[in-house]
Structure 1
Amino acid sequence: MIDGVVFDKDGTLFDFRQSWGAWTARLLEQIAQDQAHAAILAAAIGYYPDRQDFHPDSPVIAATAEEISAALLPHLPGQNQRALVAQLNALAQNAVMAPAVPLRPVLGALRDRGLTLGLATNDTEAPARAHLLAHGVLDLFDFVAGYDSGHGPKPGPGMCLAFARQTGIDPTRAVMVGDSCHDLIAGRAAGMRTVAVLTGIAEAEELRPFADVILPDIGVLGAWIDGVTTPQ
């Protein structure tokens, strides 16, 4: 039986390349001195400006703003990390996100099944709430946490355990859904089932060792849950 679902945000609810490719381009416009400098900064965070795509190891994919800033700072002499993190977070809050699927119908159908929904992201909490609100789904979530919410970042299990604790759901009756190994490792460490989706950067073979199932996107998650919970 499954009672709750914890979602990652970027690459899971929102298509990663479409959402964060454009965001990274705007970031480089703001902080680079010129085109040559922008190329150096892009390489430092594993970003391909010509196609607005990312290397699989890019810190933009699953790391925190502090980790992204740490990759950039060696190439930004005189820049203060705290100020850079604030700039990253402010820009993230206004990022234009591209839903991976029609979110309201898909998430609403999960709520109609009686499931409790949560969000656990390595983004900060304020931008996460802003993104959910902008797409009209914030009200569907009983739990929203970012890496700054006091539970630690993924791949640690803190956010998943906080979801279980705050909702009263046994972790063994919950699912963590994400597009990166960080997400799936966090879910397993919390004792949850894990579902990988392919709307991020990671390929199926990379995710397979950490996932109970791999789905193309969250649009088919409800059918999978129905299959898990239906007596055979």
Structure 2
Amino acid sequence: MNIRGVIFDKDGTLFDFQSTWGIWTAQILARIAGSDGVLLGQLARSLGYDTKTRRVQPGSVIVAGTPMQIAAVIHDHIPGMGQSQICGWLNGEAETAPQVLVTDLHRLTAELRRIDLGLCVMTNDAEGPARAHLASVQALDLFDFVMGSDSGFGAKPQAAPLLALADKMDIPAAACVMVGDSTHDLRAGRAAGMRTVAVLTGLAEAAELTPLADAVLPDVSHLPAWISAQNR
């Protein structure tokens, strides 16, 4: 079956992960801990963040976790603030996180539209920040649908949000490809019966992604050529 729809992850796939979330996490930790160096160190360790290099570490909840899951980790260290309150604050802060694109999304999506593909974004980020991030680089209107972990269909690695997007595009799941940088993305795609493409612009190594991927690409700019080859 030819590929007719593409579902993209956002962070580490469309946007460079460390350039965005490495800097954002440093700002968040500073605001929470203030001058309390001990609390700062505890939060950094729990979140999987290296304060010296200002980089998120592989396996961190920040990589593929939902905002509520990140809030749960922070709540363990500041129990006086409710988890839902922390989550709401994180989402507000996330909307203004700096965004660094992996490639020119206008060019990429134009190439994919030329081969008549539906295009969506599914992120474990909240939908509001996801829309804000895409809008900040004038890319929100390039996609048919944008879904977050709070959009009512669950989060990756569950199949449900991907199946919901396929349904919204009116394209069979088997004619869709899930493109992402983490095992959560690829497991969700496999569970949904979609083809899966891994990109190496996140934190996971090729060896970790290869068993779950139909293809491993350096970045999303290589996707149009791969899809065209599959559909020939």
TM class by smaller structure: over 0.9
> Could you tell me which amino acid in structure 2 is paired with residue 53 of structure 1?
R
Match of 2:103 in 1: 101
Query: Shift of the alpha carbon at 1:77?
Result: 3.4
Matches within 5 A, 1:76-225: 76-225=78-227
Which has the larger displacement, 208-217 or 69-78?
Answer: 69-78
SS at match of 1:75: coil
SS at match of 2:151: coil
Unaligned runs of 5+ in 2: none
For 1:112 and 1:50, locate their aligned partners in 2 and report how far apart those are by CA, in whole Å: 45
| Displacement over 3 Å in runs of 4+ | none
Q: Give the fraction of aligned pairs with identical amino acids, expressed as a percent.
A: 49
Residues 4, 116 of structure 2: 8 Å contact kept: yes
Q: 1:37 aligns with which of 39, 47, 55?
A: 39
For 2:124 and 2:79, locate their aligned partners in 1 and report how far apart those are by CA, in whole Å: 26
Deviations 1:64-109 (A, max 9, x none): 0111111122211312111110111001111111111122111221
Query: Shift of the alpha carbon at 1:143?
Result: 1.2
1:17 has 2:18 as partner? yes
Match of 2:74 in 1: 72
Deviations 1:4-45 (A, max 9, x none): 000000000001011100110110111114233211111110
Which has the larger displacement, 44-53 or 172-181?
Answer: 44-53
For 1:99 and 1:147, locate their aligned partners in 2 and report how far apart those are by CA, in whole Å: 21
SS at match of 1:77: coil
Q: TM-score, normalised by structure 1?
A: 0.97
Query: Shift of the alpha carbon at 1:126?
Result: 0.7
Q: TM-score, normalised by structure 2?
A: 0.97
| CA root-mean-square deviation | 0.9
Unaligned runs of 5+ in 1: none
For 2:71 and 2:129, locate their aligned partners in 1 and report how far apart those are by CA, in whole Å: 17
Deviations 1:104-146 (A, max 9, x none): 1112211222111001100000111111111111111111100
